[in-house]
Amino acid sequence: MVKIAIVGFGTVGESVARILVEDPREELSLSMICNRNVARKKVEWMPSHVVWTDDFNTVIESNVDVVVELIGGMYPAVDWISTALTAGKAVVTANKQVIAEHGSTLTRQSVEEGRPLLFEAAVAGGIPIVRGLNSGLAGDSIVQILGLLNGTCNYILTRMEAGKIEFKTALKEAQEKGYAEADPSADVDGGDAGAKLAILSAIGLRCPVAIEDLSINSIRPVEYVDFSYANRLSSTIRQVARAQIVEERQGSVCASVGPTVVPLDSELARTQGSENIVVVTGNRGGRTAFSGHGAGGDPTGVAVVSDLMEIATVGQVRTVWPTGKARGNVEVEYDAKHYLRFVVEDAPGILAKIATVLARYEINVDSILQEPGWSKSELPFVVTLESCNTSSVKQAVREIEKFGFHAKKPVWMPILDRGES
């Protein structure tokens, strides 16, 4: 019987407690709950033997076997996890930020102390992808991980498409429904998915990466018109997180997060609302996909309790984290087809000017899409490019931006090929 302390009694903490109390398992016993100003957190359904405290030291000095860290954020979470391991406690956490940045140090400490550190809940909530990579596909050599890792972005993008609405309206809706926070930056600007991708790269591709090395683009510039043009390409738009072994340079991966044009018939496009999906490609086993609820108290709570069950039944569980430095392992540039969207004040010669710049960078245009019915003063149109390096695209766009005809800043996104998605 494993004695458990929940540290951080928010939405996920409460779900974990509810599962432990309402679906009791003989291996697990909830002993303690720790939260700031804990008095206001007390709930009547909690068994009376559970100790409430607002002092983390009480947890450390108690006889609990496992500390469930659910306070979120970097500090003091990272120190508390380390303190708990030093005190001989096993740790379960849902903290992607801490694991993405300190996974290497903390898993090493976990091995040294002989105490498990599990974090299934840190990536894709209820989808058991950490276990899937760490043990289920351990027999394969994974070469690519492709995912929709942020339910808020997926909700916003699928709502923009279905409701023919703009980003701000969809964001507001997501906030009202509790899918997005008051400050949505971590979600929509890609930091959240970036942290999760860093964890997946480490445990799946065996390549530790630094979040600040990743190529991360916000979904904020995406407009409804982009869905309308993407549809003409039999595609839609998703915030795609992607990491891929670079064959030419051992120990490095190409890793990026950002809005991406994906084929309508792909698994990524079919992932609706706040769902998450992770598509893993192995050298031997081919593609395996995991999908489900990537966030929310209950799915995340299930992931935490699954980790607790593993500690209780297996005992010594080790998460494999690659050794070696994380900085400098990311190739930011990669080859892909590209989607460029311009909104211009129409005048003769615009296309010629754009085409001339692209030609100078040896970029081949694949198609030009311009739908009728738009105002001449804010005319959106799209140029798709044959496969070329993102570095050339960025340079070319930077040059094109200098022309005076833009009504809005141009937007570029990579296009995922049918075979890749």
Closest approach of Cβ 7 to its own copies, in Å? 18
Q: Which of residues 91, 253, 317, 382 is near its own copies by CB under 8 A?
A: 317
Rounded CA-CA distance 391/256 in Å is 13
Q: Decide: is 189 part of the binding site for its own copies (CB under 8 A).
A: no
Q: Decide: is 131 part of the binding site for its own copies (CB under 8 A).
A: yes
DSSP assigned state of 327: T
Q: Decide: is 303 part of the binding site for its own copies (CB under 8 A).
A: yes
What is the number of other CB atoms lying within 10 angstroms of the CB of residue 206?
Answer: 18
Determine the length of the chain.
421
> Which residue among 196, 376, 394, 408 is the active-site one?
196
Q: Which of residues 208, 258, 299, 410 is near its own copies by CB under 8 A?
A: 299
Closest approach of Cβ 303 to its own copies, in Å? 7
Reference 238, options 205, 183, 275, 211; nearest CA is: 275
Q: Decide: is 324 part of the binding site for its own copies (CB under 8 A).
A: no
Closest approach of Cβ 362 to its own copies, in Å? 38
Closest approach of Cβ 25 to its own copies, in Å? 9
Please, which of residues 229-268 interact with its own copies by CB under 8 A? 267
Q: Decide: is 135 part of the binding site for its own copies (CB under 8 A).
A: yes
Residues 6+ apart with CB under 8 A from 412: 338, 339, 340, 341, 393, 394, 397
Q: Decide: is 138 part of the binding site for its own copies (CB under 8 A).
A: yes
Reference 229, options 122, 340, 145; nearest CA is: 340
Q: Which of residues 13, 103, 128, 258 is near its own copies by CB under 8 A?
A: 128
Given the complex with its own copies, which of 286 and 419 has the nearer CB atom? 286
Closest approach of Cβ 345 to its own copies, in Å? 41
Rounded CA-CA distance 190/200 in Å is 15
DSSP code per residue over 269-321: TT--TTEEEEEEEETTTEEEEEEEE-SSHHHHHHHHHHHHHHHHHH-------
Residue whose tokens read 């080859």: 335
Q: Decide: is 107 part of the binding site for its own copies (CB under 8 A).
A: no
Residue whose tokens read 């085409």: 355
Q: Which of residues 2, 100, 305, 326 is near its own copies by CB under 8 A?
A: 305
Question: What amino acid is encoded at 108 in this protein?
Answer: R
Q: Decide: is 136 part of the binding site for its own copies (CB under 8 A).
A: yes
Q: Which of residues 291, 329, 384, 392 is near its own copies by CB under 8 A?
A: 291
Using CA atoms in the order 296, 145, 337, 226, what is the torsion angle rounded to 10 degrees? 0
H or E element that contains 41? none
Q: Which of residues 40, 45, 250, 286 is near its own copies by CB under 8 A?
A: 286
168 belongs to the catalytic site: no
- How many residues bind its own copies (CB under 8 A)? The answer is 49
Given the complex with its own copies, which of 132 and 414 has the nearer CB atom? 132
Contact yes or no for 200/183 (Cβ under 8 A): no
Q: Decide: is 310 part of the binding site for its own copies (CB under 8 A).
A: yes
Q: Which of residues 145, 262, 308, 416 is near its own copies by CB under 8 A?
A: 308
Q: Which stretch binds its own copies (CB under 8 A): 6-14, 73-81, 196-204, 289-297?
A: 289-297
Q: Decide: is 420 part of the binding site for its own copies (CB under 8 A).
A: no
Closest approach of Cβ 127 to its own copies, in Å? 6
| Neighbour-count burial for 221-244, b at 16+ CB within 10 Å, e otherwise | bbbbbbbebbeebebbbbbbbbbb
Closest approach of Cβ 354 to its own copies, in Å? 38
Cα end-to-end span (Å), the chain = 44
Q: Which of residues 220, 318, 394, 406 is near its own copies by CB under 8 A?
A: 318
H or E element that contains 370? none
Respond yes or no on whether the N-terminal peptide bond of residue 221 is cis (omega within 30° of 0).
no
Q: Decide: is 19 part of the binding site for its own copies (CB under 8 A).
A: yes
Closest approach of Cβ 84 to its own copies, in Å? 20
Residues that bind its own copies (CB under 8 A): 15, 19, 23, 120, 126-128, 131-132, 135-141, 267, 270, 282-293, 298-299, 301-310, 313-318, 320
Active site residues: 196
